[in-house]
Chain A
Amino acid sequence: MQIFEYNGSALVAMVGKNCFAIASDRRLGVQLQTIATDFQRISKIHDRLFLGLSGLATDAQTLYQRLVFRHKLYQLREERDMKPETFANLVSAILYEKRFGPYFCQPVIAGLGDEDKPFICTMDSIGAKELAKDFVVAGTASESLYGACESMFKEDMEPEELFETVSQALLSSVDRDCLSGWGGHVYVVTPTEVKERILKGRMD
């Protein structure tokens, strides 16, 4: 099987009205065998910036550790948190450093920028940024996710409706993928709060 499909993953981020949602599946597998059903794919960089990493799990963990390190240095030097756009540039640069021996990951970055404007973007494994105004997807279930998001997305959704939309899109897409699923993890972030929810999904 291919290297990107070794562990299996599904990630989606969606923009709403002054808020965003980022969601992932919870499976960690070794090809067809399921090893864990509580794997964390989304990590917080700071209160208004979240990073999801799909693809090979070992590269996702290492890349995440390197990015946290760089962000902490930035915080010490600049005495403030990184803006999402800046962080996306940082991730892109770090991925391109390894152009001829890449990290087998596809990051999804979601954050609230200046004036609480939501920002989402995804990248391929060598750092090509894809900015989107509505939604971004990554992982083994990405094709199903594109279809589901395209049909379910509406502009300017409130946080509750955004949560429902993202959850339905994620669950219906992973139900068509052997390598991802086994539950869902959704973060809905507004300027005042972060709501983390675990989804009850099909465990097959």
Chain B
Amino acid sequence: MKLDTSGLESAAPVWGAPSELVDGFSAAPSFEVPNTTDFDGFQKEAIQMVKPAKGTTTLAFIFKEGAMVAADSRASMGGYISSQSVKKIIEINPYMLGTMAGGAADCQFWHRNLGIKCRLHELANKRRISVTGASKLLANILYSYRGMGLSVGTMIAGWDETGPGLYYVDSEGGRLKGMRFSVGSGSPYAYGVLDNGYRYDMSVEEAAELARRAIYHATFRDGASGGVASVYYVGPNGWKKISGDDVGELHYKYYPVLPSTVEQEMVEAAAA
């Protein structure tokens, strides 16, 4: 069993060897498997060891002008904050974005793999892949690894011929089309703000402010989210990064500290 390198091989078929591309269906991707006496037990242990708790907040929604994608930037290992500056919005290609929730390595690898497959599709079919197609490619790959401990909770947002598209794809093999999604431990808090403030006909600035606010509120309430709130806009000309605000400063911008009246006057110190 070998690593899936179909993205790296050249398209020209080698004489005598059947090419994966010629077949129409690619062979099931495969990874090497360790030699152990108790394979199931070993797998369980490995999954528990690698299983991160999707401590993050990401969201994406579609509105009149396109799609908005936003995320925090904190990485946590249990209670310890390992980084406050993780890039959780992955640029698959100039008109498609993916969000990262779950295992960082898993998300980074499979998003890059998806970008390769999208480019190959472009070259083979002389047109860009649709968001529907791209999300289906990723969902099928993740489904084939179902139960093996991958942890991926991602949203694919992009702009294709039919307009803006948004899909939620996860490592359990689920794939959902929708207008609003939020993924991660901070998602309940983000949904509260997002659902309350959402209107289909918003301007780009209003939508960006809604996304930023939703991420900020999630970082306030959720211990595993924080750092920087990044907001990206996906329009007919591709994606553009709108802002990256430190949520520590956002808090004092939304709720400035006002000088308050003294609650307790100083008392004379008791004689020693």
Contacts and interface: CB of A to CB of B under 8 A. Distances in A.
Interface residues of A, number: 23
B238 interface: no
A176 interface: yes
A33 B270 contact: no
Contacts of B221: 33-34
Contact of A34 (B79, B222, B252): B222
Contacts of B269: 47, 191-193
A169 interface: no
B257 A178 contact: no
A175 B81 contact: yes
A1 B223 CA distance: 13
Interface string B260-272: 0000001001101
B79 A204 contact: no
B146 to A, nearest CB: 27
Given A33-B221, A34-B221, A34-B222, A204 B80 contact: no
B185 interface: yes
Interface size bracket, B side: 20 to 34
B121 interface: no
Contacts of A176: 80-81
A152 interface: no
A172 B247 CA distance: 16
If over half of B's interface residues share one DSSP class (helix, strand or loop), that class is named, otherwise mixed; here it is loop
A200 interface: yes
B112 interface: no
A29 interface: yes
A188 to B, nearest CB: 14
A134 B74 CA distance: 33
B145 interface: no
A202 interface: yes
Interface string B235-272: 00000000000011001100001000000001001101
Contacts of B74: 178, 204
A76 interface: no
A8 interface: yes
B224 A32 contact: yes
Interface string A177-189: 1110000000000
Contacts of B171: none
B76 interface: yes
A8 B79 CA distance: 9
B248 to A, nearest CB: 4
B79 A140 contact: yes
B226 interface: yes
A188 B29 CA distance: 63
Nearest to B185: A32
Interface in A190-204: 191-193, 200-204
Interface in A1-51: 5, 8, 29, 31-34, 47
Nearest to B81: A176
B226 A204 contact: yes
Contacts of A202: 226, 247-248, 251
Interface string B192-236: 000000000000000000000000000111111111000000000
A179 B257 contact: no
Contacts of B266: 193
Nearest to A46: B270
A76 B266 CA distance: 26
Contact of A204 (B185, B220, B272): B220
A176 B74 CA distance: 10
A116 B272 CA distance: 9
A201 B222 CA distance: 16
Interface string A141-183: 0000000000000000000000000000000000111110000
Given A34-B220, A191-B272, A193-B269, A204 B257 contact: no
29 contacts: A5-B79, A8-B79, A32-B185, A32-B223, A32-B224, A33-B222, A34-B222, A47-B270, A116-B272, A175-B84, A176-B80, A176-B81, A178-B74, A178-B79, A178-B81, A178-B224, A178-B226, A179-B223, A191-B269, A193-B266, A202-B226, A202-B251, A203-B220, A203-B248, A204-B74, A204-B226, A204-B227, A204-B248, A204-B251
Interface of A: 5, 8, 29, 31-34, 47, 116, 140, 175-179, 191-193, 200-204
Given A200-B257, A204-B247, 5 more contacts: A177-B79, A178-B55, A178-B74, A203-B220, A203-B247
